[in-house]
Chain A
């Protein structure tokens, strides 16, 4: 094996360098493995982001050098593209004297803050609509609490996406293509290479004609429908069915493709949201485009077509033709949406061209995957007992006394303990036992604040937390830090779906839980 050395950063060849990549050859190579997940635009968003990491623990300045400065130096060593500053000031001091400091960030991550300053910071960032993430590793438990007023996602990258083939309500160009396919007149080769979408369409027409224009809906009907399809497989001269892969694919696709075209509930909720209905100059592009899609849906009865089809056994020509039929319709739909968007932009006083066609197209491709995350209340409001999710939390705690969720409540109690005693429970060996009772008191106060006084937390769980004595294990911090880092990436790239709004890991039982508090 020979290999030509390739010096770093040298453009490959005129045609070999990545056309249109804004990142340049070296970064393209360095970040290759993640660019394949969130793309160049995701990476660009990450590079433009400005993060604030607050560590305000009692140990913050116990080392020879302020911890912030050491961390910043390490980060720079790790990646010389990082621009890091450290501020050797307590967050309390900054909050009191120059709170606007925090408003200059894309996102703030806080660890080890006291109840009081966290509440202050939470309110400040809630007002400014800047996401705040609280991360904590404590003994064998760790958690992330995300506060975000509103987070909208277009590219949610669902793991399992159903194809949008519109077989139940075909559009004219699709009907025209299907009508041009006469399977009875095909020779064997052509028959075997007919894309399964055509097969499904043909047999669906037949089925509907025989069943009062209804699609096969339930299990029994679908089973029957599959049998009908298999009857269409060509027979060899000795009467045995030929091996037709496209027919097998058609049967396998029945369950995922013959679904009535319907707006997913989550998307419908977004289309009906107040933000969508009351557009104004402050509305984000997201809501303008959502409104365009809503108008489109009202006039056509459909979400804009996705415009992509799954791979299927076929000859090249007909697969490409079919692909074009769907893509062209998707482009037309997106143009319709764009027109509606432009009307709403002008009505709100924004230039019609302030949202690009490309953006609307990408949006329409993802119309089925739109996601919206809202925390009903800030962390400060939650701490004061005003979270709309209190009852839900109470139900979980009462129904499952072993739910990992109990630890979140205990940690709220730990914060209260620290506010009252200025020390964490169980720090000193001889205080583990006496602190159990004190911590139990604090937990009871927290529960009472949340109107959950009837919830009972077992002494064993409280004892376990006292045993930790504030211990922060490196690997526990790494687990939750790794999770938090990915949540930060999701929030900044606006791709993939972040947690809403509490994630907790219990290493003793290897259980995790996500819940809304």
Chain B
């Protein structure tokens, strides 16, 4: 169904006064406008014809972002998302309809915007951000993230940082592509503006995204107290043991009602045994799928704040956010904007080699666990190589099965036994960054 709100059926052109509201703020200087602001019709055509935007994520925030940016006059946009549409998206991802379930989010969202908003030119990429290289990302003026994954944020942050060339002799850096990052969880949200290499980046403030806390296994196995403990018992311990759906170790599919029902019933059984109340079907699904509650309104607010920041940043018509804003509307409406500070030791943007102090009798396994658990690293599945006496040596490589098998025995060896010494450089590859991280070892007795 098409309801063309202009009533004239334009397909790509403009109609009188289409941009009059934008023009008011773009063609007039105000007492508070940014010093770089050039008031005039050319700024409007900059928005419409010159600026290219990359929107990462076509979910709760992504749908809102595309719509907002298109109505703010931006036409040239790319959207990247690897996911397909699920029924539970429909309460807020408003570019999708029940008959889109199962289709790619990026494609459906782009088509919708291109059909509904004359002149919009959104290109969809049904894939991962990691599928694209520097040349792809270099074409954009701003990258706007509507992601629910910290790993993906860190990766794109690393990618954009790699495009920056530091300025010499106090000159500003070149190749800076701002990231505008939005995030929501229930009634809470944040929006932030990152000028890579100049202001705090995602890695600088990694402590804002605390790692997920899991229930201790001994509690789940021996001393359950909460309904969640019973659900985790069925999920982690019973499922692999009983393999209820036969075949070769069927893994749990949180969207398969039969799987959820099985876990629910087993959890309920255990809960009844311990007189624990509160195991419900909804809770079971929430725990198994690690569901984070989401409402349309928070997404609408955060995405629109990000769209305004994109508008201000590209036109200079007003000062951009400097540089972090948090939002919470569970009690009244509260927001707070502040300047997140650059971390001088940041892994990603400080351009410093990291030195790692570690006992030489510690095992490679310990080192890997450290890289995963330490707040400043929070890696997912790091692979390590080094150079010993001029020869490259793979210490451990988890992602390629054959190399993993060939290097697994190294995990039990001490750093000393592996031939590492103080000053050895480790090259650490991980999904949290597009580029490997160089770490210099300082071995202690």
Co-assembled chains A and B: yes
A residues in contact (CB < 8 Å) with B = 1-4, 6, 8, 12-13, 15-19, 26, 28-37, 63-65, 70, 73-74, 77-78, 139-140, 156-159, 193, 311-316, 319-320, 324, 426, 429, 432, 460-461, 463-464, 467-476, 478-479, 481-483, 485-487, 489, 496-500, 503, 505, 507-512, 514
- Beta-carbon contact of B3 and A74 below 8 Å: yes
Partner pick for B68 among A26, A36, A478, A508, CB 8 A cutoff: A478
Query: Is B32 engaged at the interface, CB distance under 8 Å to the other chain?
Result: yes
Query: Is B13 engaged at the interface, CB distance under 8 Å to the other chain?
Result: no
> If A15-B261, A467-B25 touch, does A1 touch B291 (CB 8 Å cutoff)?
no
In angstroms, Cα B339 to Cα A509, docked, is: 12
Among B187, B260, B276, B304, the most chain A Cβ lie within 10 Å of the Cβ of B304
- Beta-carbon contact of B294 and A33 below 8 Å: yes
- Beta-carbon contact of A482 and B28 below 8 Å: no
Supply 12 A–B pairs (Cβ within 8 Å), ascending by A: A2-B245, A15-B264, A33-B295, A34-B295, A429-B27, A464-B32, A473-B25, A487-B329, A496-B329, A499-B332, A507-B318, A512-B334
Type the 1/0 row for B317-343, where 1 means its CB is closer than 8 Å to any CB of A. Answer: 011011001001111111101000000
- Beta-carbon contact of B333 and A512 below 8 Å: yes
- Beta-carbon contact of B281 and A158 below 8 Å: no
- Beta-carbon contact of B21 and A471 below 8 Å: yes
Report how many residues on chain B are interfacial, defined by Cβ distance under 8 Å.
Answer: 91
Contacts of B244 in A (CB 8 A): none
> If A64-B6, A464-B31, A483-B301 touch, does A2 touch B253 (CB 8 Å cutoff)?
yes
| Contacts A70-B5, A316-B224, A478-B304 supplied; 11 other A-B pairs, CB < 8 Å | A2-B250, A32-B282, A33-B292, A34-B91, A73-B3, A140-B25, A461-B31, A463-B31, A483-B297, A485-B300, A507-B308
- Beta-carbon contact of B28 and A314 below 8 Å: no
Query: Is B251 engaged at the interface, CB distance under 8 Å to the other chain?
Result: yes
- Beta-carbon contact of A64 and B7 below 8 Å: yes
In angstroms, Cα B298 to Cα A289, docked, is: 33
Query: Is B94 engaged at the interface, CB distance under 8 Å to the other chain?
Result: yes
Partner pick for B333 among A35, A36, A70, A483, CB 8 A cutoff: A483
Residues of B1-35 contacting chain A, CB below 8 A: 1, 3-8, 20-22, 24-25, 27-32
Query: Is B42 engaged at the interface, CB distance under 8 Å to the other chain?
Result: no
> If A33-B295, A507-B318 touch, does A4 touch B304 (CB 8 Å cutoff)?
no
- Beta-carbon contact of A482 and B92 below 8 Å: no
- Beta-carbon contact of B264 and A429 below 8 Å: no
Among A33, A63, A514, the most chain B Cβ lie within 10 Å of the Cβ of A33
Look across to chain B and name the residue whose beta carbon is closest to the beta carbon of A465: B30
Contacts of B236 in A (CB 8 A): none
In angstroms, Cα B258 to Cα A31, docked, is: 20
Contacts of A2 in B (CB 8 A): 245, 247, 250, 253
**Nearest Cβ distance between residue A362 and chain B, in whole angstroms?**
15
- Beta-carbon contact of B330 and A497 below 8 Å: yes
Contacts of A316 in B (CB 8 A): 223-225, 274, 276
Contacts of A140 in B (CB 8 A): 25, 318
Query: Is B90 engaged at the interface, CB distance under 8 Å to the other chain?
Result: yes
Contacts of B275 in A (CB 8 A): 320, 324
Contacts of A16 in B (CB 8 A): 257-258, 260-261, 264, 281
- Beta-carbon contact of A509 and B319 below 8 Å: yes
Contacts of B219 in A (CB 8 A): 313
Query: Is B212 engaged at the interface, CB distance under 8 Å to the other chain?
Result: no
User: Nearest 6 A-B pairs (CB), nearest first?
Assistant: A64-B7, A482-B300, A478-B304, A16-B261, A471-B24, A474-B71
Contacts of A464 in B (CB 8 A): 30-32
Contacts of B282 in A (CB 8 A): 18, 28, 32, 35-36
Contacts of A467 in B (CB 8 A): 24-25, 28-30
- Beta-carbon contact of A486 and B24 below 8 Å: no
Contacts of A159 in B (CB 8 A): 328, 330-331
- Beta-carbon contact of A320 and B225 below 8 Å: yes
Contacts of B29 in A (CB 8 A): 467
- Beta-carbon contact of B304 and A485 below 8 Å: no
- Beta-carbon contact of A429 and B28 below 8 Å: yes
**Nearest Cβ distance between residue B250 and chain A, in whole angstroms?**
6
Contacts of A461 in B (CB 8 A): 31
In angstroms, Cα B68 to Cα A391, docked, is: 39
Among A74, A474, A486, the most chain B Cβ lie within 10 Å of the Cβ of A474
- Beta-carbon contact of B297 and A485 below 8 Å: yes
Contacts of A487 in B (CB 8 A): 329, 333
> If A18-B280, A159-B331, A514-B332 touch, does A479 touch B301 (CB 8 Å cutoff)?
yes
